[in-house]
Amino acid sequence: MSIISFFIDIELKLKQYKALFLFLFLVWLGGFTYYAFHYPVCDVWAILLYSLAIRTPPYQSDFSSFYTLAWPILLEVIVFGFIAGELLEKYNPVITSKIIAKHKRNHTLIIGYSHLAERVIEYCVKNKKSFALIEDRQESVEDLINGGHPVVIGDPTQVVNLELASVSKANEVFILLSDVRVAVICAEKIRKYNPECPLYVRVHEEHVQEYLKQPHIRAFPFSTSQWSMNDVEEWIEGKKGNVIVIGRDMLTHRIAYRISQQEGREIYLFDDVNDGIEFEVNQRLHLINECACYLSDIEPHVDLRKVSQVFISWKKGTQFDEALYLTSVFRRFYPEIEIFVRIFDDELVEIVKKYGAKTFSSSYRAFKLLQRVVNKDSSIAL
């Protein structure tokens, strides 16, 4: 255990025993005050020894007798119990991670534990770069907490959590949240405490990006969806035939709308959550408000013989099995169709490739692209 860790552990236990130590101090103060008034001829040193029960006063009152009996018991239970027992116990890892974060200086602060954030942290750990993380879902970061990494569990828009993550001392900040409103609020508050550090914000909406670029925030907004679209542009260039797009978020809608701008192509967007998309729908873009997990869900709406490309763009990793199943059945029954699957976990890429599908939007690729745009002194710079 390093000296810093030792003092952090001491601080943790002092916080837990704060009320008990305060009670002990008040008891001692009461005893000191009593002896000062009832033995005015004695000097301060003698009164101090009486209050500590080290020396017995010239004559004992009932209070003095009780105090002399009670004080050693309180001292033993609180002070010696703290020293002998509590310091040897396993500390609360959540509190420990929070205090470690508070002591960070010149570090990389990451807000939001997304797939991309996971890559940033992996790089920092591997290359021994100082970092801290703010995340409001404890279950998502249990491994980081148990590993003794600096993590603050809580709402990143609350000033107390930003202060616990030592935002004013951060060398750079990455806001990698999916909630645009929370991301903007965080950016505003961070600039009040750290007006100079580079601030990188993942946000898709162009009007929000323009707002974050304003002088009072001076953030660098970027869109992983736009980076993914660069791959999509290459795959759809010069292609013909109808297209199936499956998903529920902005990237899914963006893919469908972009392909619908190509002449002679019909696009079938399967989205069972949204009843519309952010873009102007044209006659070639057909929105189907149904879930598409099986071929039997798709065949009533689409003539698969006329389909040349399928984009499976589910965002949640929990739907990987549905994506893999669709990929396999398309490959089996319609081998001429090109399949593109959105994958966040790069460990799963090879599984999808076995079926001849291409992958996009992986966190590893997004991280590599992010490395190209950060400042040269960034912890993740190439």
Together in a domain, 329 and 250? yes
Together in a domain, 246 and 323? yes
Would 371 be classed as within a structural domain?
no
Give the per-residue pLDDT at 354: 87
Together in a domain, 296 and 183? no
Would 382 be classed as within a structural domain?
no
Nearest to 220 by CA among 186, 157, 174: 174
Q: For 67-184, where are the E strands, in sequence order?
A: 108-111, 131-135, 151-153, 172-175
Would 134 be classed as within a structural domain?
yes
pLDDT in tens, 35-93: 888 887 778 888 888 888 888 887 778 788 888 888 888 877 776 666 655 555 445 78
Together in a domain, 160 and 204? yes
Give the per-residue pLDDT at 7: 61
Q: Which one-letter DSSP state was computed for residue 141?
A: G
Give the per-residue pLDDT at 82: 63
Mean pLDDT of 279-296: 91
CATH number reported for the structural domain that contains residue 275 in this entry: 3.40.50.720
Q: What is the mean pLDDT of the chain?
A: 87
Helix, strand or coil, per DSSP, at residue 216: coil
Together in a domain, 72 and 16? yes
* Domain coverage including residue 309: 226-366
Beta bridge partners of 173: 109, 199
Together in a domain, 76 and 202? no
Q: Where a domain ends, among 177, 203, 222?
A: 222
Together in a domain, 230 and 216? no
Together in a domain, 75 and 110? no
pLDDT in tens, 146-181: 888 999 999 999 999 999 999 999 999 999 998 999
Would 375 be classed as within a structural domain?
no
Would 27 be classed as within a structural domain?
yes
CA distance readout (Å), 349 to 163, 233, 356: 39, 20, 11
Together in a domain, 237 and 170? no
pLDDT in tens, 91-142: 578 887 888 899 899 999 999 998 899 999 999 999 999 999 999 999 999 9
Would 360 be classed as within a structural domain?
yes
Q: For the chain, where are the E strands, in sequence order?
A: 108-111, 131-135, 151-153, 172-175, 199-202, 220-222, 242-247, 267-270, 285-288, 307-313, 338-342, 358-360
Quote the percentage of the chain above a pLDDT of 70.
Answer: 91
Q: Where a domain ends, among 54, 88, 122?
A: 88
pLDDT in tens, 217-241: 999 999 988 888 888 999 999 999 9
Tell whether the model's pLDDT for residue 13 goes beyond 80: no
Give the per-residue pLDDT at 221: 96
Nearest to 60 by CA among 88, 83, 85, 38: 38
Tell whether the model's pLDDT for residue 343 goes beyond 60: yes
Q: How many domains are contained in the chain? A: 3
Give the per-residue pLDDT at 14: 65
Together in a domain, 147 and 180? yes
Give the per-residue pLDDT at 1: 43
Of 16-30, 75-89, 131-145, 266-280, which range is least confident? Answer: 75-89
Q: How confident is the model at residue 204 (pLDDT cuts 50, 70, 90)?
A: confident
Q: How confident is the model at residue 317 (pLDDT cuts 50, 70, 90)?
A: low
Give the per-residue pLDDT at 278: 80
Together in a domain, 279 and 161? no
Together in a domain, 105 and 73? no
Distance of alpha carbon 82 from its chain centroid, rounded?
Answer: 34
Residue identified by tokens 């007798």 is 65
Do residues 203 and 176 touch, judged by C-beta distance below 8 A? Answer: no
Would 374 be classed as within a structural domain?
no
Q: Where a domain ends, among 39, 68, 88?
A: 88
Would 381 be classed as within a structural domain?
no
